[in-house]
Chains A and B, each alone.
Chain A
Amino acid sequence: MEKAKLNDDFRVVMVGGSAGSLEVIIKMLGSLVNNRLAILLIVHRKGSIHSSLANLLDMKTAVIVKEAEEKEFIKPGYVYIAPADYHLLIERNGSMSLDYSEKINFSRPSIDVSFECAADVFGDRVIGILLSGGNADGVEGLKTIRKAGGICVVQDPGSALVSYMPQHAMNEMEPDKTLNGGEIADFLNDIP
């Protein structure tokens, strides 16, 4: 698989979550100090009319949290949130594209779609993290990240508010790490 031809060599952390994941994300961002990572959040949520999730999360963390903009380049030190009601794709040059095509796994944004794009573009630089949720979205994407040589992390289903999504991942694959919600920030902070 071809890798992105970028000068930078930062890690790209793809976080997928559905029902029950927001609290974990808030906790994770609250303790995050590693600004060498680029983090993309793909979170299922009701298509609220003008979403302010980015503003909400930005107040809780030391890194910069913003909604992903069309054709914006992915940079370390930033947390990008997929806008409600769009799939978030990644271009070969490391920029993001939005896509209003059919829902995948009843979801838009779909975690699978973004995880697969990240694996395709960034290969073994990707860390995929799948959190709490009541939907099977994200599991195929996580497998694709694994195939491309990336690292796969699943929230311990026992610690998840809704265990279906992480449990489904555990049934389908053996993740590199299984962490409870509170351990994810430490894991990310330790990445060089």
Chain B
Amino acid sequence: MFQQEIGDNEVELLLNELVGVYGYDFTSYSTASVKRRINRLFILDRFKSFDDFRGRVLHDKNYIKRFVQEITVNVTEMFRDPLFYKLIKEQVLPVLATYPFIRIWHAGCSTGEEVYSMAILLKEAGIMHKSLLYATDINPGVLDQVVKGIYPLRSLKQFSENYILSGGKEDFSSYYTAKYDLAKFDDELRSKMIVSTHNLVSDRSFNEFQLIICRNVLIYFNKPLQDKVLSLFDSSLEKRGFLALGSKEQIKFASVSGKYEQLDPKEKIWRRLN
């Protein structure tokens, strides 16, 4: 475990400088998390002083990629919270299936495990051919992994258990090919994915969707930024569109909350009212 080497003032200084130098704005992120991540990286990469660390971050264009990747949290899994996916499958996809063309946005998709989960559900529902899955993240490094669709084989046991708990009936291993200690998901699953960087803090809406999925991203933002991002989602959703968040995320205090109804009290999926 780490001692807190870098204090509040240094964190604030660094975050402000990052906006000026690179345009990355982490100043509205939850400070407790960012401070922890910065201190973790400081220890991990064995910096001797804050000045060394700051110099590297501000002047080394390769290191900033690592910084962004390590400051943001990229922990995810396929069919995370299986009952969430069960509800998507049972109550959301049947509605989407009635549309001639389906657009889904995974905002803050990280390494893409949940995007592949959705692709599997779309395929099983027989509606993949008319769907597009937009997978975006602030972090170019993680998006490479989405494009490749390759995950460590050791994770697949958990993924497979989640798949079954979510109501999956197929043989999960039929969706990937295992080689050495890696599993590569079928190219067919990624054939409808559009992968791109998008920064929820500074970038605008780029399309209209029937379903927006953004799970365990808002927890890293402060309240005003959460509200701003929820408004961005609101303006990117079609009428009667669905908004799906992480298991502890809420819209009840946000300015858009009155426009939505929750599908099920236990799962964080809302539908926009007329």
Contact = CB atoms under 8 A, between A and B. Distances in A.
B117 interface: no
A140 B4 CA distance: 12
Which of A50, A98, A102, A144 is most buried by chain B, counting CB atoms within 10 A of its CB? Answer: A98
Contacts of A101: 33, 36-37, 73, 75
Please give me the 6 A-B residue pairs with the lowest Cβ-Cβ distance, nearest first: A89-B32, A140-B1, A101-B73, A97-B30, A100-B216, A98-B219
Contact of B249 (A2, A49, A70, A113): A70
Interface of B: 1, 3-4, 7-8, 30-33, 36-37, 73, 75, 81-83, 216, 219-220, 222-223, 226, 246, 248-250, 266
B73 A97 contact: no
**Contact-residue bracket for chain A:** 20 to 34
Nearest to B223: A71
Interface in A60-75: 69-71
A174 interface: no
A90 B1 contact: no
Contact of B32 (A2, A49, A97, A141): A97
A56 interface: no
Which secondary structure dominates where chain B touches chain A?
loop
Contact of A89 (B1, B36, B223, B266): B36
Contacts of A49: 81-83
A97 B75 contact: no
A99 B219 CA distance: 7
A100 B8 CA distance: 22
Contacts of B32: 89-92, 97, 99, 117
A17 interface: no
B250 A97 contact: no
Contact of A116 (B1, B37, B83, B219): B1
Contacts of A141: 1
Contact of B219 (A2, A90, A97, A120): A97
Interface string A101-137: 1101000000011001100100000000000000000
A9 to B, nearest CB: 21
Contacts of A113: 36
